[in-house]
Structure 1
């Protein structure tokens, strides 16, 4: 066992910074071939990219976050990060194969991006896991879920016995309904409409659709009729219960500059799984990059610049967890 692995175990619920993970950064880069694939999915084709190093020590399925996000971590709504592509490239340097896919209705993936549930995304993940497992010598696959993708990873873990473990990247620890209301409360322009937002969220929590005509214009897009079924399903899931439902090795990763998912969420997940390992990276935003300054505007630049690197220590920590703990 490496010195890093021992440190991770001794501080399972503590904060581990990139400074403790230098051993992993010393490994030599490994050449990886990237292949674009189209797989037959449950609701239409799934477009994906397989990153396959010459020598494979482990395999990871990267599960994307919320919204119409593509395989690289970008969307048509102004999200330009290349976060998942950079994660795949970094893991390839540690001889770790990855598979990342466009979500339903995004990029080259078919299907209706609104007609989804966490279970639907989990079915897509099942197909991707099967393909990734069959492409290499590994007998099990790791799941790395970002934000909403972390909840999907936990859902998948309830139904499969061929997973190695889970990495939760900026994943909700509290019900998403509570997190959404908290996020809306921090938007000054919505101050007068916040009571209506709270009422709408409460209705969706109990499974009742909300007439969009009853909402102010500022909220009608957020609670559009076509997305309400997904929100009802999403709000019905309790992240801590999902985390407690699996005993797979678990790494909880959180940045302290994340404006969407807070340290409280990582704390709750760690409490739900006392045997988990914990990594807190100073300055890391929700898109897994380091903010260049303290302001919200600084933070948001990490959402719009695909050239910015991932936060130092992130990839090395993930690789160390995977390679030290795999069966």
Structure 2
């Protein structure tokens, strides 16, 4: 079995190496377009990264799972083009984006919308899918309210406001006395208040708190209920960042969506065996993505 997996990975590597990969500047956004060879008008997927200063490969300053790079390679090997891009703040904050304190979450949505328009207007692709990972799923949902999207794919995406999700995560990690001031500060920020100084453990500068408020308070459920096109929702049983209730809430919000629950998959879309393996996988860029996830996403995007 190990030899078979190695052989399949080699075939994917050879196929993705043959793909045409080019770096683009679309407005102020740096992106990478990957197009499979010998296909006149392939489908294309816009890949939207999760939270943090995440680049086009799905890597941040500390964690480097290369989630989007691996997804792009796998989809290219199956005849699907991809466009992936550096989020605002990846690497450095560009002057074209304005002042960091003036950022609002809708700017992420605007970036995704501009890239969808670019792909659709290029005339090179048969249809346009949007694939959002983690926070990128929320961006994808909101972008689909602004512009036509032929397929929507949500990978390890929360069904809660990000402020509420962060509180739930911290409540599990911290003793009650440490969590109490942080939880209150998050509530205050979500209510539009400035917390100055922020409590220990919540390093959000007062000048940036309005920007954080705009992210903390976006609710994915109502816009998800308005999705009318084909959607696919995938989540994993070893995701320590999200609960199964998020998966169930999203599938309930869009009862027509296809869904897939993968018991061994974690938040960076790889299979893990235990908590230590889960932590290690966040910096293992060569670890393959869950194969059932790849098959499901590729089949969904490719369908006519």
**TM-score category (smaller protein):** 0.7 to 0.9
Count residues in correspondence. Answer: 287
Deviation (angstroms), 1:35: 0.5
Single out whichever of 263-272 and 47-56 deviates more from structure 2.
Answer: 47-56
Structure 2 Cα separation of the partners of residues 32 and 137 of structure 1: 15
Q: Secondary structure at 1:183's aligned position in 2?
A: helix
Query: Are the equivalent residues in 1 in contact too, given 2:100–2:208 (CA < 8 A)?
Result: no
Correspondences of 1:1-327 after superposition (within 5 Å): 29=15, 31-40=18-27, 45-54=28-37, 55=39, 56-76=41-61, 78-107=62-91, 110=94, 111=97, 115-138=102-125, 140-161=127-148, 163-188=149-174, 190-213=175-198, 215=199, 217-219=200-202, 221=203, 223-291=204-272, 293-295=273-275, 297-324=276-303, 326=304
Alpha-carbon distance, 1:125 to partner: 1.2
Distance 1:29 1:150, change over 3 A: same
Deviations 1:78-113 (A, max 9, x none): 111111011001001111110000011323772356
TM-score (norm 1): 0.82
Structure 2-normalised TM-score? 0.88
CA distance in 2, matches of 1:187, 1:159: 37
Q: Following superposition, which runs of at least 4 residues in structure 1 exceed 6 angstroms of deviation?
A: none
Contact kept, 8 Å, 2:93 with 2:100, in 1: the verdict is: no
**Does the 8 Å contact 2:42/2:80 carry over to 1?**
yes
1: CA distance between counterparts of 2:93 and 2:193? Answer: 30
Give me the whole-angstrom Cα distance separating, in 2, the residues matched to 1:310 and 1:113: 33
SS in 1 for 2:164: helix
Please give the secondary structure, in 2, of the residue aligned with 1:304.
Answer: coil
Residues 17-61 of structure 1: per-residue CA shift (max 9 Å, x gap): xxxxxxxx99x9574111011222xxxx21110001121431110
Whole-Å separation in 1 of the counterparts to 2:235 and 2:126:
29
**Cα RMSD between the aligned structures?**
2.1
Structure 2: unaligned runs, 5 residues or longer: 1-10
Q: Which runs of 5+ in 1 are unaligned?
A: 1-24
Secondary structure at 1:121's aligned position in 2? helix
CA contact (8 A) 1:288 1:310 kept: yes
For the residue of structure 1 that corresponds to 2:289, the secondary structure is coil
